[in-house]
Amino acid sequence: MNLNFRVEARCPDTEARLTRFRTAHGEIETPIFMPVGTVGSVKSITAHELEAVGASIILGNTYHLAVRPGIETLRALGGMHTMAHWRRSILTDSGGFQVLSLAKLRKITEQGVAFRNHVDGGLMNLTPEYSIEIQEAIGSDIMMCLDHLPPVDSPRREMEEAMARTTRWAKRCLVARKAEDRAIFGIVQGGVDLELRARHIDELCSESFEGFALGGLSVGESMPQMYDTVEFAAPRLPAGKPRYLMGVGRPVDIIESVARGVDMFDCVYPTRNARKGNVFADLGRRNVNVRNARYKNERGPIEEGCPCFTCRHYGVGYLRHLLISGEMLSGRLLTIHNLYVYLDLMRRVRLALRQGSFAAFLRAWRGGVAIGEVIC
Amino acid sequence: MNLNFRVEARCPDTEARLTRFRTAHGEIETPIFMPVGTVGSVKSITAHELEAVGASIILGNTYHLAVRPGIETLRALGGMHTMAHWRRSILTDSGGFQVLSLAKLRKITEQGVAFRNHVDGGLMNLTPEYSIEIQEAIGSDIMMCLDHLPPVDSPRREMEEAMARTTRWAKRCLVARKAEDRAIFGIVQGGVDLELRARHIDELCSESFEGFALGGLSVGESMPQMYDTVEFAAPRLPAGKPRYLMGVGRPVDIIESVARGVDMFDCVYPTRNARKGNVFADLGRRNVNVRNARYKNERGPIEEGCPCFTCRHYGVGYLRHLLISGEMLSGRLLTIHNLYVYLDLMRRVRLALRQGSFAAFLRAWRGGVAIGEVIC
């Protein structure tokens, strides 16, 4: 399919770029962050709230949705757009990552991955073809190829084998696609070995994928290793297609990766942290722990002037009370704020790129209030 | 204070009546159902959603809010209206019921109830005066007197002592009130003993309360006992003041109690059941268990034609998937539907009373689709 991808602006000082493309469910401007809708909802919030915070694309997890409700029900219910009343775009992962992290009794062969799922122990055989079949049942606009992701510290020989298999599986995914108006992205592996990355990019990027992702990062390597790998790999991906850094991350990781040439991001970081009471302020540079006793009697919002639903209507003291009392409403209100901060940050990044001021934005962002400690 | 209470219509065939009164936060038309906001939120939903389903008054639990966040924080945060961004009326219970059901190491004296709370074991001394002080800190529009509620099967002698103490405590509550624009309701005890009920009504209803509640029901007695007690007691309460049946109940209980002369109701029944997947349809006469496998592939809403947010946007199959997957969103969406059904039922009851057709409505409601089994 044709995403009508175009680069609308380039930062002259960094690898950052403003791009635009179109899926069957609307226009997407990048750099963009995709909230994660793990098992069919971005936890605790509705499609209306996602639209209100400015989301144009969300991520669905193929593994989770394949296990429950399962492919037949996904089809019967009309896929995730209809089920979740979400009108905009959906990207789905391949399921491979969750098979490795959640499922039991895995057996990887050239055919695919056989495993027992973590919910009811049911047996499933996730092949490249079946992954695409599930993703099509979900109604995904951007499907990811099933990849083989070895541990980050695997011997080079294993990394090479995984890369070669990932390439073979990726080609099978392209063949398996039935829905012609849906895109497929290939996933570049190679860990933090730049030579392997270069080789895999060469192998994969000659294939007719509509976009490319950097996989196998944010899985335990150090931050400098990740940044170096992104800095090396992102600009080597085809300039005429979207570039997606999977599973990243914190606001700082996103900003630094945009500067290194990445267009698309997803992570549970803002949503999972929100439910624990860890929220962001100051364009993601400041962390606020809502549980902190200092907020007990605070009537003001999380962030003064923040136009999100939560900050317009609720004070931190009340949010803290709800959180500490275990009230479900707290997770929802804090999620709305965190997603607003993330998506607002991305809007400002795009604005800076359009205005040709991204390098200045980057300096200001980096030089602002000290970025808090990791609150994962 | 003056609630400007007036009876706007009476059913010629039953004790049902349409009434209207005004608190500091707006007009209330009865018969009315009050959703329960236990610890400062009606679990999982916002004030905006409460307004959207048509709530004009919600209930706050004094015990829970006194334990957490506590009276100082309630004051610092401006009370429940400000905290929860709720603009309409609030009724608060006295805390007495939860002290008996949740707290530990209770000691009841003429002064009040000393206990250790269920959260951190902190010691609290709930006197009639302190109950009113907390309710004023919550910003309650209608405060309830601290009452002494003995078990429903207590010996008559104990019931009489509890009644007498309830009367003395009620008078102390009136004296303790500082906020002159807030109402206080007295609570009539007497269990299911009609003679005791009559006596306590005589004792209490000569006092200058703005309304009266029937307490000590829906606590383990049989349904016929409850209906008989309501039928006896409700019409004996002053006709010129609101009548509130505490902690009741199922749709059928509400309809039957309206017919026996009750104006106001509260219960966690619709909200607690919603979170478990038990929802209502057909004006509360039909129960739908969303977990039922028959709904697995159901694209239609809980109830065809229901204009609530949930039914307008989501099908039962998706709601079932969210519920079974433990997604927080399910509790919220099902709560919205159940509250809509309850408040819509109350609207229709009021409309029937206004049109003089309540007796016909009652016959139709009773004679319609068979009322399902209790799903508590």
The string of pLDDT tens digits covering residues B104-155 is: 778 999 999 999 988 988 899 999 999 999 999 999 999 999 999 888 788 9
Q: Does A84 touch chain B (CB under 8 A)?
A: yes
The domain A6-267: what is its CATH number? 3.20.20.105
Higher pLDDT, A153 or B27: B27
Chain A positions touching B78 (Cβ under 8 A) are 299
Region B78-90: what's the mean pLDDT?
97
Quote the minimal CA–CA distance from A328 to chain B in Å: 5
User: Which residues of B are less than 8 Å from A48 in CB distance?
Assistant: 313
**pLDDT range class, residue B275, cuts 50, 70, 90:** very high
d(CA A349, CA A255): 8
Measure in Å the smallest separation between the Cα of B317 and chain A Cα atoms: 7
| Given B13, B153, B266, B282, the catalytic residue | B266
pLDDT band at B376 (very low <50, low <70, confident <90, very high): very low
The pLDDT value given to residue A376: 27
Mean pLDDT, residues B215-225: 90
- Residue B218: pLDDT band (50, 70, 90) is confident
A119 has a pLDDT exceeding 60: yes
- Asked if the bond preceding B31 is cis, omega within 30° of 0, the reply is yes
| Residues A116/A130, Cβ–Cβ less than 8 Å | no
Q: What are B339's two structure tokens? A: 């509250």
Out of A297, A314, A327, name the one closest to residue B43 (CB): A327
Q: B46: which chain A residues are within 8 Å (Cβ-Cβ)? A: 313, 329, 333
Tokens of B301: 């809403």
**Both structure tokens of B114:** 């000393």
Bigger pLDDT: A304 vs A369: A304
- What's the average model confidence in pLDDT over A138-158? 91
- pLDDT given for residue A323 in this prediction: 98
Examine the predicted complex and report whether its ipTM is higher than 0.85: yes
Q: Is B318's Cβ below 8 Å from some Cβ in A?
A: yes
Residues within 8 A of B (CB atoms), A 54-73 only? 64, 68-69, 72-73
| Known active-site residue B120 | no
Contact flag B327-A297 (C-beta cutoff 8 Å): no
Q: Which among A39, A85, A322 is the nearest to B41, CB-wise? A: A322
> Which pLDDT does position A90 carry in this prediction?
98
* CA proximity to A304, closest of A296, A293, A292, A312: A312
- Give pLDDT tens digits for B93-111: 999 888 878 877 789 999 9
Among the partner residues B84, B296, B297, nearest to A318 by beta-carbon distance: B84
Chain centre to alpha carbon of residue B358: 22
B336 CA to chain A: closest CA distance, Å? 13
Contacts of B83 in chain A (CB under 8 A): 314-315, 317-318, 321
Sorting pLDDT into bands at 50, 70 and 90, what band is B370? very low
A165: pLDDT strictly greater than 70 = yes
Please, which pLDDT band fits residue A372 given cuts at 50, 70 and 90?
Answer: very low
Q: How far is B83 from chain A (nearest CA, A)?
A: 6
Q: Exposure of B307 by Cβ count < 10 A (0-12 exposed, 13-18 middle, 19+ buried)?
A: exposed
Mean pLDDT on B29-37: 98
The residue assigned the tokens 């269990």 is B191
What is the distance in angstroms between the Cα of A44 and the nearest Cα belonging to chain B?
Answer: 4
Look at residues A135, A127, A114 and name the one whose alpha carbon lies nearest to residue A177: A135
**For residue A373, what pLDDT band results from cuts at 50, 70 and 90?**
very low
Predicted pLDDT of residue A206: 93
Cis peptide before A249 (omega within 30 of 0): yes
Question: Residue for token digits 């959603």?
Answer: B49
The answer, yes or no, to whether residue B322 has pLDDT greater than 60, is yes
**C-alpha to C-alpha distance for A164 and A169, rounded to whole angstroms:** 9
Q: Which residue of A has its CA nearest to B299?
A: A77
Residues of B in Cβ contact (< 8 Å) with A331: 328
Q: Residue A301 pLDDT more than 70?
A: yes
Quickly list H helices, A234-327.
251-258, 269-276, 309-313, 316-324
The reply to whether residue B78 touches residue A331, judged by beta carbons under 8 angstroms, is no
Q: Return mean pLDDT, chain B.
A: 94
Active-site residue identified among B13, B93, B120, B141: B93
Q: Any idea where the domains of chain A sit in the sequence?
A: 6-267, 274-366
pLDDT value for B98: 86
> Does residue B372 surpass a pLDDT of 70?
no
Q: What is the mean pLDDT of chain A?
A: 94
| Cβ–Cβ gap A69/B296 under 8 Å | yes
**Gap between the Cα atoms of A141 and A184, Å rounded:** 8
Percent of chain B with pLDDT over 90: 87
| CA B354-B357-B361 angle, 5° bins | 115
Number of A/B CB contacts below 8 angstroms equals 122
pLDDT at B373 over 50: no
Backbone angles phi, psi at A306, to 5 degrees: -65, 125
Question: Which residue in B254, B236, B238, B235 sits closest to B246, CA to CA?
Answer: B254
pLDDT at A85: 97
> Amino acid letter at B28?
I
B93 carries an active-site annotation:
yes
Q: Do A328 and B46 touch (CB under 8 A)?
A: no
For A297, the closest of B73, B297, B331 (CB atoms) is B73
Which residue in A has a C-alpha nearest to residue B77's C-alpha? A299
**What's residue A247's pLDDT?**
94
Give the chain A residue nearest B48 (alpha carbons): A313
Q: What are the distances in angstroms from CA A121 to CA A72, A99, B297? A: 18, 12, 22
> Cα B268 to chain center, whole Å?
8
DSSP state of A302: S
CB-based contact, A52 to chain B, within 8 Å: no
In this predicted structure, the answer to whether residue B248 has a pLDDT above a threshold of 70 is yes
Structure confidence at residue B374 (pLDDT): 25
Residue with tokens 């609307």: A26
Q: Check B44 against A332: CB less than 8 A apart.
A: yes
A208 to chain B nearest CA, in Å? 35
User: A90, A138 in Cβ contact below 8 A?
Assistant: yes
Q: Which residues of B touch A102 (CB under 8 A)?
A: none
pLDDT category of residue A151 using cuts at 50, 70 and 90: confident
Interval A4-20: pLDDT, tens: 999 999 999 999 999 99
**Residue-wise pLDDT tens digits, A29-39:** 999 999 999 99
- Report DSSP state, residue B315: -
User: Does any CB of chain B come closer than 8 Å to the CB of residue A356?
Assistant: no
Tokens of A255: 């900003």
Lowest mean pLDDT, pick from A47-51, A114-118, B237-241, B320-324? A114-118
Interface test with B, best of A327, A334, A335, A337 (most B CBs within 10 A): A327
Interchain CB distance below 8 Å, B41 and A78: no
Interface check A40 vs B, CB under 8 A: yes
pTM here is 0.95
Please give the residue of chain A at the shortest CA–CA distance from B38.
A327
Is the pLDDT confidence value at A370 over 60? no
Q: What is the pLDDT of residue A100?
A: 79
DSSP string spanning A117-142? -TTT--EEEE-HHHHHHHHHHHT-SE
Q: Which residues of B touch A71 (CB under 8 A)?
A: none
Catalytic residue among A147, A253, A263, A266: A266
A204 close to A243: Cβ distance less than 8 angstroms = no
Share of chain B above pLDDT 70, in %: 98
Q: How far apart are CA A243 and CA A237, in angstroms?
A: 7
Burial (Cβ within 10 Å: 0-12, 13-18, ≥19) of residue A272: middle
Amino acid B371: pLDDT? 29
